[in-house]
A and B are shown apart, each in its own frame.
Chain A
Amino acid sequence: MIDPSRRTILKYAGAFGAFTMGLVTGLVKSSNAVAAQWNKVGFESKAMADALKALGAGNPVESKDILITAPDIAENGAVVPVAVVSKLPHTQQISIIAEKNPRPLMATFDVSSGSEGYVSTRIKMGETSNVWAVVKADGNFFAAKKEVKITVGGCG
């Protein structure tokens, strides 16, 4: 049932290298399944710079080809919708970072085989902050940001 993950793990091992994929956690119960990768170092980073490092993103170039749709003001910080479009050719990976969250890295999506450079999800934000989209395209990292104002924090 979890066969697709196996191919994914092999792909990650080749493309990103050991340092971006920290400790493997989130083992799946099924005995046939292979453990899914989860970027523990990245997700536990307490500062955006560390999260970027864990993604292998270094200093991403700001790009106007990354479009973030998110509210100027979010009514409820626990449910902030964020959609990212990357017009960069050969978009491989989209990550979402909430700069001022205690742990800024929200999610990383590998879209390299068969999906458009587009994801939409909802995140918890503890306070008004820039929301960053960090995109890996053709092996290089790019970023864009949008400020989202929070009226009621979403972490409690």
Chain B
Amino acid sequence: MAEPMKIRATLQGDIADVRILFLHPMETGTRKDSKGDIVPRHFIQNVAVTHNGKTVLDGQWSQAISRNPFLGLRVKGAKAGDKISVTWTDNKGDTRTDEVAVAAAL
């Protein structure tokens, strides 16, 4: 089941420092479970980040990105309140989108 992400987007000048935590097993397909059976490959293949609806980052991942992954990026030309949306899609076709507003610098 697609678990919610945790997204932090903080303004630094006019750059949004965006940090995303994902919950996903990122199984490589080479690991064996306690019974000795191979756990099938199950991993996020694509991550897209939009800023006010416009794609600003498009990522392709291998199964060797860590379990419960993390992604950090920096979005140009941002203002407080702008919408940052993140969508991931995995090799089983599961997908999840979460969104936050850019927070003003503390």
- Do any beta carbons of A and B sit within 8 angstroms of each other in the complex? yes
Tell me the A residues contacting B by CB distance below 8 Å. 1-2, 4-5, 7-8, 25-30, 36-39, 43, 78-81, 83, 98, 101, 103, 105-111, 113-116, 118-124, 154-156
Interface of B is mostly: strand
Given A38-B45, A121-B65, CB of A110 within 8 Å of CB of B57: yes
Which residues does chain B contribute within 8 Å of A110, judged by CB atoms?
57-59
A61 to chain B, nearest CB (A): 23
Which residues does chain A contribute within 8 Å of B67, judged by CB atoms?
78-79
Which residues does chain A contribute within 8 Å of B57, judged by CB atoms?
109-111, 114-115, 119
Are B46 and A36 in contact, CB atoms less than 8 angstroms apart?
A: yes
Q: Can you give 17 A-B contacts (C-beta < 8 A)?
A: A2-B87, A4-B54, A26-B45, A28-B89, A36-B89, A78-B67, A103-B62, A105-B62, A107-B60, A109-B58, A109-B59, A113-B54, A113-B55, A120-B19, A120-B72, A122-B65, A122-B66
In B6-61, which residues have CB < 8 Å from any A CB?
A: 15, 19, 28, 30-31, 45-46, 48-51, 53-61
B interface residues, how many (CB within 8 angstroms): 42
Are B64 and A113 in contact, CB atoms less than 8 angstroms apart?
A: no
Nearest chain-A residue to B72 (Cβ)? A120
Which residues does chain B contribute within 8 Å of A83, judged by CB atoms?
72
Which residues does chain B contribute within 8 Å of A30, judged by CB atoms?
95
Contact of A28 among B28, B60, B62, B93 (CB under 8 A): B93
